[in-house]
Amino acid sequence: MSKAKKAEIRIAGFGGQGVVLAGVILGRAAVLYDKKKAVQTQSYGAEARGGGARSEVIISEDSIDYPKVMRPDILVAMSEQALDKYLKDLKPGGVLLIDSELVKNLPPEQRFTLYKFPFSRIANDEFGRTIVANVIMLGVLTGLTRLVSFEAMKSSIKTSVPKGTEEMNLKALKKGMDLAKVP
Amino acid sequence: MSKEILTGVYFMQGDIACAEGALAAGCKFFGGYPITPASEIAERMAERLPEVSGVYIQMEDELASIAAVVGSSWTGAKSMTATSGPGISLMQENIGYAVATETPCVLINVQRGGPSTGIPSIHLQGDIIQARRGSHGEYEMIALAPSSSQEMFDFTIDAFNLAEKYRTPVFILSDAFVGHMREEVIIPEPERIYRVPRKLPDSGTCGGKFRGFLDEDVAPMPIFGHGFKTHVTGSCHNDFGQRNVIDAEALDYYIKRLNSKISKHAHEIISVSQDVDGKEVALISYGSCYRAAREALNILEDEGIRQVGSFRLLTVWPFPRNQIQELARKVKSIIVLENNLGQITPYVEAAAGGQAEVIFLPPRVLGTLHDPATIVDKVKEVIR
């Protein structure tokens, strides 16, 4: 639906970082709590951890015919390989969000808006759990882009994360939102 | 809330929606063996069937899985399995047995890259002909091809209803893309879900005089444990289930009756959606390819090119031969979109019979969705 307002997001990293779940949380927030349309797809290797992993989300005001992301408006790179592999697809003028702890070699190009935060270090230092890096990232993404509302994101996290980890994940989301306020 | 029908709005994976569709249709038995990209269906059914007094059995392999599905159906349960190409290959013998014994059951094939073990998490429409002709002998098959999470729910209900109505196995031909994709799924109120009940003989019906097989209009099913004396066999048999493995005439009758049970009702079973009146070119698609066809049509419309329409097969089998014959009289060109090397294309060519030009268009890279731009380019080339 080229006419409707639509955003395409690609989140990429390696298996075990929760990039697939991050996409699911985002899509669920849009559909169930912001009453938008969304589709989430993914690709990953046979490995449970360590191989490349990719999650894609399209959020739209209107129904979505083509479910695959080809030229993302937003690219989240949670690993060096992910950036190398997918930067070429990012739309000119798009948003590039990286985990600066894991992605050191930045390209010289300036055809996009770059935001960098050490998601995995913050997750480790402040939460003692590297695994919440994906939710901190979602907090930053929400704060920067307002693709979905903060309230929708909170509700989606509550229904998407393992039982008993809701509080920690909501704190991680809040942390990300706060980070986004200070560029 | 009904435990069988989880009325509500969800952001749900296609495979999960398929499992919920099965439960909503009244499925009470799942026999299977997990395989990517269909494992989520088995996992969900393992969790959910006990909640609705159903039974889930993880069998030792796919041969046993389909045998358990056929057996449970003969006890009266709505039954299913879910697997991918390698599993379907192993099930072929008993799929034929299910056809021969007129056993209602639903077979979900979440297709992946093949041949052989191929690539588990990449989608290919590689098993379209296999669904139609994978088992030996002469038979008809019903197969539906969903393109979204919502259709994984809706079409699975349709599959159970068709299986019961025609007392036959029914395929869902999904793929790894549709099975693993998450989208909005709306599960309606229970009263809005239509369920076809199984047609059974009147109780007390005398076994020996009971015609439980080979009726073109579908014989009532003399299920086990209800006092009907009957004989269920995959060998050539008559209306009473009595074997005859000597006479060619008996074989002729057996084959033709089994086949006409489906072909006589093909017009009720076949489902296509089309928007081709006054068009010059038709995009034929099914399953995940339909999504690319829609997007190509959006782009073409934005560019002011309106002489192109969509012709989608919601059911791939029985093949909509008459509908495509009619289509070929309306349009100049037919572009067939398939994520394979052209499995239904020869059927389209045969139906078109030279009345329209038939062009096969796979994605540039097999195992991916068509890039809509390649479809748009092809259309422009055709109308030039």
Instruction: Please state which CATH number belongs to domain B8-192.
Output: 3.40.50.970
Distance spanning both ends of chain B, measured CA to CA? 57
Q: Does residue A94 belong to any structural domain of this protein?
A: yes
At residue A68, the pLDDT reads 96
Considering chain A, what is the average pLDDT of its residues?
93
> pLDDT (tens digit, 9 = 90+) per residue, B95-141?
999 999 999 999 999 999 999 999 999 999 999 999 999 999 999 99
Q: Does residue A1 belong to any structural domain of this protein?
A: no
Which structural domain, as residue segments, surrounds residue A60?
6-181
At residue B256, the pLDDT reads 98
> pLDDT (tens digit, 9 = 90+) per residue, B186-200?
999 999 999 999 999
CB-CB neighbors (< 8 A) of A70 in chain B: 371
At residue B302, the pLDDT reads 97
Contact check, Cβ <8 Å, A66/B120:
no
Q: How much is the average pLDDT of B159-164?
A: 98
Put simply, whether A155 touches B (Cβ < 8 Å) is no
CA B212 to chain centre: 25
At residue B87, the pLDDT reads 98
* CA distance linking residue B358 with residue A98, whole number of Å: 47
Put simply, whether B121 touches A (Cβ < 8 Å) is yes
Measured in angstroms, the CA of B10 and the nearest CA of chain A are apart by 7
Residue B281, C-beta contacts closer than 8 angstroms, at least 6 positions apart: B307, B308, B309, B331, B332, B333, B334, B335, B379, B382, B383
Nearest CB neighbour to B11, from listed A28, A46, A64: A28
Contact check, Cβ <8 Å, B302/A37:
no
Q: Does residue A64 belong to any structural domain of this protein?
A: yes
| DSSP bridge pairs for B111 | B175
Residue B53 phi/psi, 5° resolution? 60, 30
Pairing verdict, β B105-111 and B79-83 = parallel
Residue in B6, B11, B36 to test binding to A, most A beta-carbons within 10 Å: B11
Structure tokens at A33: 């709590």
Assess whether pLDDT exceeds 80 at residue A146: yes
Put simply, whether B275 touches A (Cβ < 8 Å) is no
Structure tokens at B309: 């329409």
Measured in angstroms, the CA of B95 and the nearest CA of chain A are apart by 30
Structure tokens at B135: 């088992």
At residue A110, the pLDDT reads 75
Tally A–B CB contacts below 8 A. 57
* CA distance linking residue B11 with residue B149, whole number of Å: 9
Contact check, Cβ <8 Å, A37/B184:
yes
- Higher pLDDT pick, B329 / A109: B329
- Higher pLDDT pick, A16 / B208: A16
* CA distance linking residue A98 with residue A88, whole number of Å: 15
Contact check, Cβ <8 Å, A31/B372:
no
Q: How much is the average pLDDT of B200-227?
A: 85
CB-CB neighbors (< 8 A) of B298 in chain A: 1-2, 65
Put simply, whether A66 touches B (Cβ < 8 Å) is yes
Nearest CB neighbour to B121, from listed A1, A28, A43: A43
* CA distance linking residue B353 with residue B372, whole number of Å: 28
Q: How much is the average pLDDT of A162-168?
A: 96
Is the bond preceding residue A162 a cis peptide, omega within 30 degrees?
no
CA nearest neighbour of B271 among B205, B323, B212 = B323
Measured in angstroms, the CA of B229 and the nearest CA of chain A are apart by 51
* CA distance linking residue B344 with residue B346, whole number of Å: 6
Percent of chain B with pLDDT over 90: 94
Q: How much is the average pLDDT of B168-186?
A: 98
Q: How much is the average pLDDT of A113-142?
A: 97
CA within 13 Å, CB half, A40: 24
CB B268 within 8 A of CB B158: no
> pLDDT (tens digit, 9 = 90+) per residue, B16-70?
999 999 999 999 999 999 999 999 999 999 999 999 999 999 999 999 999 999 9
Pairing verdict, β B333-337 and B357-361 = parallel
Number of domains in chain A: 1
CB-CB neighbors (< 8 A) of A20 in chain B: none
Contact check, Cβ <8 Å, A67/B183:
yes
Q: Does residue A12 belong to any structural domain of this protein?
A: yes
Assess whether pLDDT exceeds 70 at residue A183: no
Assess whether pLDDT exceeds 70 at residue B89: yes
CB-CB neighbors (< 8 A) of B300 in chain A: none
Put simply, whether B292 touches A (Cβ < 8 Å) is yes
* CA distance linking residue B317 with residue B143, whole number of Å: 5
Task: Using pLDDT thresholds of 50, 70 and 90, give the confidence band for residue B229.
Answer: confident
Between the CA of residue A28 and those of A23, A33, A77, A139, B336, what are the distances in Å?
Answer: 8, 7, 21, 15, 34
CB B370 within 8 A of CB B360: no
Q: What crossing angle do the helices spanning A133-145 and A166-181 adopt, rounded to 10°?
A: 40
Assess whether pLDDT exceeds 60 at residue A169: yes
Q: How much is the average pLDDT of B215-238?
A: 92
Instruction: Please state which CATH number belongs to domain B272-383.
Output: 3.40.50.920
Assess whether pLDDT exceeds 50 at residue A3: no
Assess whether pLDDT exceeds 60 at residue A7: yes
Assess whether pLDDT exceeds 80 at residue B261: yes
At residue B226, the pLDDT reads 82
Q: Residue A183: what residue type?
A: P
CB B285 within 8 A of CB B314: no
Structure tokens at B225: 């444990």
As a whole number of angstroms, the longest Cα–Cα distance in chain A is 45
Of the ranges A20-24, A83-87, A168-172, B206-210, which one carries the lowest mean pLDDT score? B206-210
The torsion region of residue B136 among left (phi > 0), alpha (psi -120 to 50) and beta comes to: beta
Put simply, whether A89 touches B (Cβ < 8 Å) is no
Task: Using pLDDT thresholds of 50, 70 and 90, give the confidence band for residue A48.
Answer: low
DSSP, res B219: P
Measured in angstroms, the CA of A118 and the nearest CA of chain B are apart by 29
Nearest CB neighbour to B180, from listed A38, A41, A64: A41
* CA distance linking residue A150 with residue A34, whole number of Å: 10
* CA distance linking residue A120 with residue B365, whole number of Å: 35
CB-CB neighbors (< 8 A) of B292 in chain A: 66
* Residue-wise DSSP of B326-345: HHHHH-SEEEEE-SSS-SSH
CB A72 within 8 A of CB A56: yes
Considering chain B, what is the average pLDDT of its residues?
96
CB-CB neighbors (< 8 A) of A41 in chain B: 177, 180-182
Domain ranges of chain B: 8-192, 272-383
CB-CB neighbors (< 8 A) of A44 in chain B: 121
Q: How much is the average pLDDT of B144-173?
A: 98
Put simply, whether B321 touches A (Cβ < 8 Å) is no
Residue with tokens 């998407």: A160
Nearest CB neighbour to A31, from listed B177, B180, B184: B184
- Buried-state track A109-124, b at ≥16 Cβ within 10 A, e below 16: eeebeebebbbbebbb
Contact check, Cβ <8 Å, A41/B9:
no
**CATH number of the domain to which A79 belongs:** 3.40.920.10
Assess whether pLDDT exceeds 70 at residue B208: no
The torsion region of residue B45 among left (phi > 0), alpha (psi -120 to 50) and beta comes to: alpha
Interface of B with A in 342-371 (CB under 8 A): 368-369, 371
* CA distance linking residue B84 with residue B36, whole number of Å: 7
* CA distance linking residue B20 with residue B69, whole number of Å: 18
